[in-house]
Chains A and B, each alone.
Chain A
Amino acid sequence: MTTLTEAPLASEVLGEPKKRRNLLPYILLAPGVLWLVIFFLIPIITAVSASIQTGSLDMGFKVTWNWANYSSTFSTYNTEVVHSLIYSVACTVICLALGYPLAYFIAFRGGKWKNLLMALVIAPAFTSFLIRTIAWETILSDHGTVVRIMTDLKITNLMDHLGLITGNHVLNSPFSVVFGMVYNFLPFTVLPLYTSLEKIDPRLHEAGRDLYCSGYRTWRYVTWPLSLPGVIAGTLLTFIPAVGDYINAYMLGSPNTQVIGQVIENEALRDVFGYPIASAMGVILTFGTLAIVLAYVKKAGSEDLL
């Protein structure tokens, strides 16, 4: 995301005179920009309009400023909205907690294996994530070794008490849904974290030690602030796809763990009457996510990241 910020133009670096009015950049930009305007921006506007339509196939859909789609989204599907929020926030926090030590290890202890280790983190993303999610179904199944060990160690008991799972069944629970999401989105957290950690000069650590800083204090006052851009980028890249994700909720969850994405797909594909309400939910999700992202970025004090 940092790459989106302005870099000096080559002509500025070389001190060339400013280019005269030139059509070439507009010709280069036109196809890509038009594609995004027509197939991304306009659809969002259409969706806002579709979300306030009522009608039928025979008479056509008309804009009737029918806000009912919005109010019914919250009244009918508030559980799903709450699930989406809780699961995606939990997933983002856990991804950061796991991703940070991993990225730190690769960046500072990886040595010449750095690139290979990073490749291994990203490699799974190149095979179908649906198939990998099915693999968790095998690993976490009731007959599996993992669940047996967890039962023997009474971990399942503890998790049952916390309401994360039901009885000794790890699958089809809020826990397994978030677990699957963490697995799927961890590379998205690690990649930007690694990029920002890798840039930190290891001599800064030595300087910290020379000044009698403990390992923790060096990390807290030197490494952490310098890695903050990576933390922000990583959490955003994780939270945004996580909030709309419903593959994990569908494959590793149960009807009790439904999220908003599932409802949108169901409504959209149910029949042609479902799509105004699906649009309304899509609009809510888009602007809700955008609001959360902007608030977060503002709070983190790094608008320039965008």
Chain B
Amino acid sequence: MTKTFDWIKAHTLGFVAILIFIFLIAPNLVMLAFSFNQPANKYNFVWHKFSLNAWKNPCASADMCTSIKLSVTIAVIAMIVATALGTMVAFAMMRYRFKARTFLNVLLFLPMAAPEVTMGITLMTFFYNTTGSNSLGFWTIIIAHVMFSLSYVVVTVKARLAGMDPTLEKAAADLYATPVQTFRRVTLPLVMPGILAAALLSFALSIDDYIITVLTAGNEVTFPMYVYASFQHSVPAQIDVIGSTMLLITLAGIAFAQVPQIIKTRRA
């Protein structure tokens, strides 16, 4: 009896963890399954019949594919701008002295601490008052996305820089490398994983954003806006196809990054 009790005690945590994992993964599985559904009505909420229809015609709704193209374009531009600006800020913060450091820390922290909807509404009001309500569109979305990704890029790149051994740069200088050579050959390769992670993060933040985007979009419709609006009239199975594709790409990325590591630890 005590044996059973001990076994339960030892495995409770694992059991709880498994339940939480199921909770986290369930909607993804449902999404994957329902991408193969042929909905009986306009809403792909109830299982009707297996079909490859949605995967064969992902662009059955032309509006949806236009919105995906727009979202990807915005995410790529916002990612490049935010990563470039954020990396520069991170370098300045970690390598140089300058005035008003506290102000900068607060300025970088606030966008992460402000609810999205307030950033959206304040930015929208700002554009209304400066450039007029007709100016809302493609570029205002990009401005907003760079704004809310910037702090995350700075934090990510700074973390990488903080973990770097500063003596390596010193060593390069001792070996008569010019500052530019040191930066290109030593610093940049070492910081690269941080920069890539930051870029990935800002891309993910941008492509999935609804709240700030809807307030700065004017007449443009991004993919999250399309999904949100579709909820009012029809939810086609194609939406699940897009979601599943994003999930599969992410999982492939994880596998790509993890498998060599796991094999290595197993051999060791």
Chain A: residues with CB nearer than 8 A to chain B? 1, 3-4, 6-7, 9-11, 13-14, 18-19, 22, 24-26, 28-29, 31-33, 35-37, 39-44, 46-47, 50, 61, 98, 101-102, 104-106, 109, 112, 115-116, 119-121, 123-139, 141, 143, 183, 186-187, 236, 240-241, 243-247, 250-251, 260-261, 264-265, 268-269, 272, 275, 278-279, 281-283, 285-286, 289-290, 293, 306
Contacts and interface: CB of A to CB of B under 8 A. Distances in A.
Nearest to B23: A183
A101 B11 CA distance: 12
Interface string B152-165: 00110011001000
B233 to A, nearest CB: 14
Contact of A10 (B31, B95, B211): B95
B113 to A, nearest CB: 6
Interface in B103-152: 104-105, 107-126, 128-130, 133, 143-144, 146-147, 150-151
Contacts, number: 300
Contact of B13 (A26, A40, A101, A293): A101
Contacts of A101: 13, 16-17, 20
Given A46-B125, A268-B215, A135 B246 contact: no
A135 B89 contact: no
B36 interface: no
Contact of B158 (A3, A130, A132, A272): A3
B204 interface: yes
A25 B30 contact: no
B17 A105 contact: yes
Contact of A41 (B28, B85, B107): B107
**Chain A interface main SS type:** helix
A120 B25 contact: yes
B146 A128 contact: no
**Chain B interface main SS type:** helix
A124 B247 contact: yes
A171 B240 CA distance: 20
Nearest to A139: B30
Contact of B247 (A115, A127, A261, A275): A127
B113 A240 contact: yes
B140 to A, nearest CB: 9
B228 A24 contact: no
Nearest to B158: A3
B59 to A, nearest CB: 17
Contacts of B261: 115
B176 to A, nearest CB: 17
Contact of B143 (A39, A109, A126, A245): A39
A123 B101 CA distance: 34
A137 B227 contact: no
Contacts of B108: 4, 36
B3 interface: no
A104 B13 contact: yes
A275 B28 CA distance: 37
Contacts of A22: 96
